[in-house]
Each structure stands twice: as C-alpha cells, then as structure tokens.
C-alpha cells in the first residue's frame, strides 16, 4: 500500500561557533547601551523530535496550481486598511502575550502573509516581528544590503490579519553589545538537528547559533501561546522546535508549521526570487521538478540520484539533494517510514547568483 506522509519555518539566518567576536557584519552598531535586561541566553539540550502540533496538510506537488493559495494576498496594500501598531520595546507587548506570533526579517511576500493568515485563525491577537538580525550574517554576507521597508511591510501585514508589528532595535534585542551578542550566538548550545545533518549547518556554519539566539529572545519578549514557522526552511523548523522544547521558560509555546507557499509555476516563494532574471526562471524551477520526479522513487538512493540528475539538467550548482528522516534529518535506508527530500542549489548567471532551497515529504511505501 502506498501512503503519503504528512509529518510536519520565514525567518532568520544567524552566527555560530565559527564566528569570532570581532567578525560582526557591516552595519552592526559598534556600541550598544546596557540599560535593557531582556532576553538572557538560556541554551538548550538535545531534543530529537518535534513537539508542537499534529500532522500538517501536505504541500501539493511543485508546479501544480494547488500550490498557489487562492487566499494569498497580492502584494499591494489596501489604502483603507489601518496599519497595525508598530511597537519598539518589549514593555509595550503585554497585551499581546498569549497570542500568536510570526517572526520575520521583513521584506514580506505572499509566503510571509500566509503565515500571518494562519496565525489569524487562532484565538487571541496576532503579533509579527520585523527584525533584520545582525548575528545571523557572517562577515561575507551583506547585512546592510538586506531589504528594509517597515511601513510597506506593516500595511501588508495588516491586510493579512496582523494586529501589531514588533520592530525592536538591535540595542533592545542585544543589550550586551555587538561583540558579546556574536559570542553568545557562537556559544549557543545547539540541538543535534543543527549540527549533525550536514545540510544548512555544513553550508552556513554561522547560521543556527544566531537563529536560536534571536528566536529565543523574540519569544521571551512576545511570550505567545504559539508561533508560526514555514516549512520551506525545514531544518530550521526542526532546530527551533527542539530549542524551544528544551528551554524551560519557552517549552509551553507551540511551534506550528505552515505549508510552503508556491508561485503558480511551482517555485517556492522567497524574498530571494526577486533577484532571479526572467530569462533564468525556468532553471530555478529545477528544484521543484527534482522533488517531483523523486516522489515516484521507491528507494532513497534512487530518489537522490534522480534529484541530482534533474538539478544538473537545469545547470544548477548542487549544495545537497538528499532524503532524510524528517525529525532527525539523518539519512534513511528505505521508505517504510516518513522521509523528507531536501534540496539546496545555487542558480548562477552572468553577473549574479542566488541560493535556493526546497523540500517535500516523500511517499511511504508499505
């Protein structure tokens, strides 16, 4: 019998044990005040399984029209829609405690808005954060170039059902100062899903320490009943869930996954997609096509080979194309239990490049 598994983040991309204290990215403030006492680092212990929610609805196959949600908002704000309150300090978040939280780095697109729409289906207020996290950028990543447009983002968030935007300053999030913040991210105790799989952790060794640190502090400030994360960043979803489950102060917060939003041609929505020239769009669709052809495979090694062949046919530089356990992200030997296909690849063209990721659940063969 064949069944489709339904195992169940937009967010950050931070600093890790490989970061040095003097390697803060360009644009990180050189001096931060020490007056704020929020968000002391707590750390975490290994927690291998997601603790948050029931199984989620599986994302349709890449390229199918079902991937394009009819409820997704167009990226044009309604001039008659009042903007949500913009809050800059955690002391002003008390009325939003116990609600639903959606952390973002801004530059909102339909994928982010779908997370806010999901949040609005839960009881209580909806709070989204917009914070471009400096500790998640390595020295060779351009912190200053990350797009910022708070007013536009606030208008779009309001249309999607957001009640308020939390837009703290770096000084509020990291009162200890930039060097100490980078060091805290580098020293953050990470769960196994952040260090063992050899996926994002291998390609961006600075990443998950900063992710865990910023998510921990935002959750300490927002104190929600639940937080929504997209499934497109699958490894990040597992890492954050494990970190939250291991933190005694945060472990009662439910981490709720939301299915990946896709354009009508199957490309997973991402702020990076705006960098893809129209002439290179078809090559970018190689990720979704690779996942689609792998879905018919009856053995993990076959699926991985099919994915790599498809990515090669689209002239993409492969970072990884693997089949893994959806929780531990370690290799699997068959499809008798749930498994996940995960891809990272770089699309290059004359004058530019963009790194893309995608994933989907594999068929369970019993």
* pLDDT of 13: 34
Question: What is the per-residue pLDDT across 202-213, written as a single tens digit (0 to 9) for each?
Answer: 998 888 999 999
* pLDDT of 148: 62
* pLDDT of 185: 94
Mean pLDDT of the chain: 81
Work out the pLDDT band at 133, boundaries 50, 70, 90: confident
* pLDDT of 135: 73
8 Å CB contact between 340 and 7:
yes
Q: Residue range 244-256: average pLDDT?
A: 98
Q: Is 269 exposed, middle or buried (0-12, 13-18, 19+ CB in 10 A)?
A: buried
* pLDDT of 47: 31
- Nearest alpha carbon to residue 124 among 89, 158, 163, 83: 163
Q: Is 122 a catalytic residue?
A: no
- Nearest alpha carbon to residue 3 among 257, 338, 324: 338
Return the SS3 of 320.
Answer: strand
CA distances from 50 to 203, 234, 266, 328 (A): 23, 12, 27, 9
Confidence check: pLDDT of 217 > 70:
yes
Q: How far is 128 from 101, CA to CA, in rounded Å?
A: 6
Question: What is the per-residue pLDDT across 329-362, written as a single tens digit (0 to 9) for each?
Answer: 999 999 999 999 999 999 999 999 999 999 999 9
Q: How far is 218 from 104, CA to CA, in rounded Å?
A: 10
8 Å CB contact between 47 and 89:
no
Q: Residue range 114-132: average pLDDT?
A: 96
Q: Residue range 142-152: average pLDDT?
A: 66
243 or 36, which is more confident?
243
Work out the pLDDT band at 196, boundaries 50, 70, 90: very high
Q: Which of 112, 221, 295, 299 is catalytic?
A: 112
**pTM for this structure?**
0.78
8 Å CB contact between 134 and 25:
yes
Confidence check: pLDDT of 15 > 50:
no
Q: Residue range 50-63: average pLDDT?
A: 38
Question: What is the per-residue pLDDT across 279-310, written as a single tens digit (0 to 9) for each?
Answer: 999 999 999 999 999 999 999 999 999 999 99
Domains contained in the chain, CATH given: 85-258 (3.40.50.620), 273-362 (3.30.1300.10)
Q: How far is 284 from 69, CA to CA, in rounded Å?
A: 20
Q: How far is 256 from 13, CA to CA, in rounded Å?
A: 19
- Phi/psi region, residue 357 (left: phi>0; alpha: psi -120 to 50; beta: rest), is beta
Q: How many residues does the chain have?
A: 366
8 Å CB contact between 116 and 156:
no
> Looking at the DSSP assignment, which residues form a beta bridge with residue 363?
4
* pLDDT of 64: 36
Q: How far is 312 from 211, CA to CA, in rounded Å?
A: 31
> Looking at the DSSP assignment, which residues form a beta bridge with residue 358?
343
Q: Is 43 exposed, middle or buried (0-12, 13-18, 19+ CB in 10 A)?
A: middle
Residues 6+ apart with CB under 8 A from 187: 17, 209
Tell me which DSSP letter residue 307 carries.
H
Q: Residue range 99-117: average pLDDT?
A: 94
* pLDDT of 356: 98
Q: How far is 61 from 291, CA to CA, in rounded Å?
A: 8
* pLDDT of 66: 35
Tell me which DSSP letter residue 288 carries.
H
Task: Name the phi and psi angles at 186, rounded to 5.
Answer: -65, -30
* pLDDT of 144: 55
């Amino acid at each position: 019998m064949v069944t489709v598994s339904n195992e169940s983040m937009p967010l950050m991309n931070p600093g890790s044990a490989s970061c040095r204290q003097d390697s803060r990215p360009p644009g990180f403030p050189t001096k931060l005040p020490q007056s704020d006492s929020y968000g002391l680092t707590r750390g975490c212990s290994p927690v291998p399984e997601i603790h948050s929610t029931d199984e989620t609805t599986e994302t349709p196959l890449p390229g199918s029209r079902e991937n394009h949600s009819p409820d997704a908002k167009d990226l044009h704000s309604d001039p008659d829609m009042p903007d949500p309150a913009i809050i800059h300090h955690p002391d002003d978040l008390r009325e939003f405690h116990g609600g639903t939280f959606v952390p973002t780095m801004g530059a909102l697109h339909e994928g982010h808005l779908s997370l806010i729409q999901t949040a609005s289906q839960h009881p209580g207020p909806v709070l989204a954060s917009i914070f471009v996290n400096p500790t998640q950028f390595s020295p060779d990543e351009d912190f200053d170039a990350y797009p910022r447009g708070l007013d536009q983002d606030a208008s779009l968030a309001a249309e999607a059902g957001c009640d308020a935007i939390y837009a703290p300053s770096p000084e509020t999030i990291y009162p200890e100062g930039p060097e100490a913040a980078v060091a805290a991210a580098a020293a953050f105790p990470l769960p196994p899903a952040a260090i063992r799989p050899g996926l994002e952790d291998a390609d961006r060794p600075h990443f998950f320490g900063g992710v865990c640190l910023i998510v921990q502090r935002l959750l300490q400030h927002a104190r929600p009943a639940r937080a929504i994360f997209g499934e497109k960043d699958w490894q990040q979803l597992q890492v954050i869930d494990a970190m939250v489950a291991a933190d005694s102060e945060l472990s009662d917060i439910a981490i709720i996954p939301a299915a990946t939003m896709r354009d009508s041609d199957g490309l997973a929505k991402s702020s990076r997609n705006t960098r893809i020239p129209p002439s290179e769009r078809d090559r970018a669709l190689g990720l979704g096509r690779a996942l689609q052809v792998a879905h018919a495979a009856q053995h993990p090694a076959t699926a991985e080979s099919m994915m790599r062949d498809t990515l090669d046919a689209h002239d993409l530089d492969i970072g990884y194309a693997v089949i893994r356990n959806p929780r531990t992200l370690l290799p699997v030997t068959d499809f008798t239990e749930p498994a996940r296909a995960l891809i990272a690849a770089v699309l290059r063209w004359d004058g530019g490049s963009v790194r893309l990721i995608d994933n989907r659940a594999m068929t369970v063969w019993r």
